[in-house]
Each structure stands twice: as C-alpha cells, then as structure tokens.
Amino acid sequence: MRQPPDELMLFAAGFGSRMQPLTADLPKPLIPVAGKSLLDRTLTLAKAGGITRTVVNTHYLSDKIAKHLEDNPAQVLHEPNILDTGGGLKNASKFFEGPAIFTSNSDAIWSGSNPFSYLFQNWRDNCDALLLCAPISQVSGRTELGDFSVSQDGEVTRGGDFVYLGVQIIRLDTVRNVREKQFSLNIIWDKLMARNTLRACLYPGLWCDIGRPENIALGEKLLGTSHVR
C-alpha cells in the first residue's frame, strides 16, 4: 500500500559558513538567486509539489527568517541550540501528523521535474527513507566526490558517483527513538543501510549546489536555460 506524505521539514538553522561574507548579516536561506531568495524558491517548489504543511527550523539570525515568513503559512520553529539535521527533525516531529514526511535543504537550484512531486511519485511504503540523488554529471557547484552508490533497485551504499540532492522522504520513527538531542541524519542513514531499508531514486534533471558565493552565478545560469516543471 502506498501512502505518499504531504508534510515538509525545511532545514534553515545553519550558519552558512561556506557562504561568507554573504552570510555575515543574512541567513543563507534568504540569499537571493535571480531576484528570489533560496527559501522562497524552495517553498514555492514544495507547494507546487503537493506539500500542505511546512515546518522551518531556525537558529542563526532566526529573527530575519521569522520576519520574512510572517505572511507565509509555514510554521517557524526556533532552536536555541543547534541540533543538526537529525536532532532538528526529532525536535520538530511532534508537529507532523503523518508517519513519514519530506525533509529538504534550501540551498539548491533545480532544472527539470519538481523534486517533491518526483519523490512523491516514487515513494513506497516498504522502505524507511527515500533519498533523491543524481549522478555527479548532472550536478554543478560541487567540488566533492559523490555520496553514494545506487543499485538498479535503488539500494544505497556509501561511496560512489551519486550525489544526495538534499531532499528525501523519511519515516519519523527513525529519529523519534534516538536518545541524543543533537545528531546528524547520516547516523540514521547508516542504520537504515545496515537493515536494507534505505533507498534512492534518481532525479532526471539538473541540480546546482548554492553552497558558496561563486555558485550563485551557476544557479542563475541554470535558471536562465530551463525551469522546474
């Protein structure tokens, strides 16, 4: 039985250290690319992809993100202490109704299918998390090697030529039972890989990582040649 989720945890609490000096007085999610903030671009994609509830976590310069979202229905959840991705999701899990939700970063530009719609279409209830990945040949703005290897049936292992694109569907039970308050989702993924319940699907479009100031021009170039459908 397939029960695709329609809720989103949007990570916006980080310091954006790699984006200095732009993030000296502006949180990374509010950095504009082609005249529109990364945060607004992600929220627009999420709404178009069928998301009905969004929680945005904040920490660094949180007041600026909260003010930016005053007229947006997204719920802002301030973290007095950085909790990392897994801890942030665990902290926010009480605000979600479904057993599984989307999580997303906001520091990317997309060209091709809507990433949320695409994951929605590929979610199956026989896995605990589904990562959206792409071969490194479809990725720009990234200097590191790939994150994972992905088999033909979507099985995920560490190392390889596939890049995690910052969007996934994950069951909330995977983080609710963790004792620690601060932890990375990488710890969860390793556990899921060990029991063979982590899967990936491959994005058919192009993706740009807006992780450094010089990558903004790459993202704007990508926007100029195509758009998300």
Q: Is 113 within a domain?
A: yes
> How far is the C-alpha of 122 from the C-alpha of 146, rounded, in Å?
22
Q: Is 1 within a domain?
A: no
> How far is the C-alpha of 108 from the C-alpha of 11, rounded, in Å?
12
Q: Is 187 within a domain?
A: yes
> What's the structural domain count of the chain?
1
Q: Is 87 within a domain?
A: yes
Q: Is 188 within a domain?
A: yes
Q: Are 58 and 78 in contact (CB under 8 A)?
A: yes
Among residues 18, 202, 185, the alpha carbon closest in space to that of 102 is found at 185
Q: What is the mean pLDDT of residues 178-206?
A: 97
Residue 226 has pLDDT above 70, yes or no: no
pLDDT band at 145 (very low <50, low <70, confident <90, very high): confident
Burial of residue 187, with CB atoms counted within 10 A of its CB: 0-12 exposed, 13-18 middle, 19 or more buried: middle
Q: Is 116 within a domain?
A: yes
Residue 168 has pLDDT above 90, yes or no: yes
Query: Which residues constitute the domain of residue 62?
Result: 7-225
Q: What is the mean pLDDT of residues 220-229?
A: 73
> How far is the C-alpha of 93 from the C-alpha of 161, rounded, in Å?
32
Q: What is the mean pLDDT of residues 84-106?
A: 97
Q: Are 88 and 68 in contact (CB under 8 A)?
A: no
Residue-wise pLDDT for 173-183, tens only, equals 999 999 999 99
CATH number, domain containing residue 188: 3.90.550.10
Q: Is 28 within a domain?
A: yes
Bond preceding residue 204 cis, omega within 30 of 0: no
Identify the pLDDT of residue 1.
Answer: 43
Side chain identity at residue 181, one-letter code: K
Considering the chain, what is the average pLDDT of its residues? 95
Q: Is 61 within a domain?
A: yes
Identify the pLDDT of residue 138.
Answer: 97
| Per-residue buried b or exposed e for 46-56, using 16+ beta carbons within 10 Å of the residue's own CB | bbebebebbbb
To the question of pTM greater than 0.85 for the whole model, the response is: yes
Residue-wise pLDDT for 6-43, tens only, equals 999 999 999 999 999 999 999 999 999 999 999 999 99
Among residues 9, 117, 122, 121, the alpha carbon closest in space to that of 57 is found at 9
Question: What is the H or E stretch that residue 11 is in?
Answer: strand 7-12
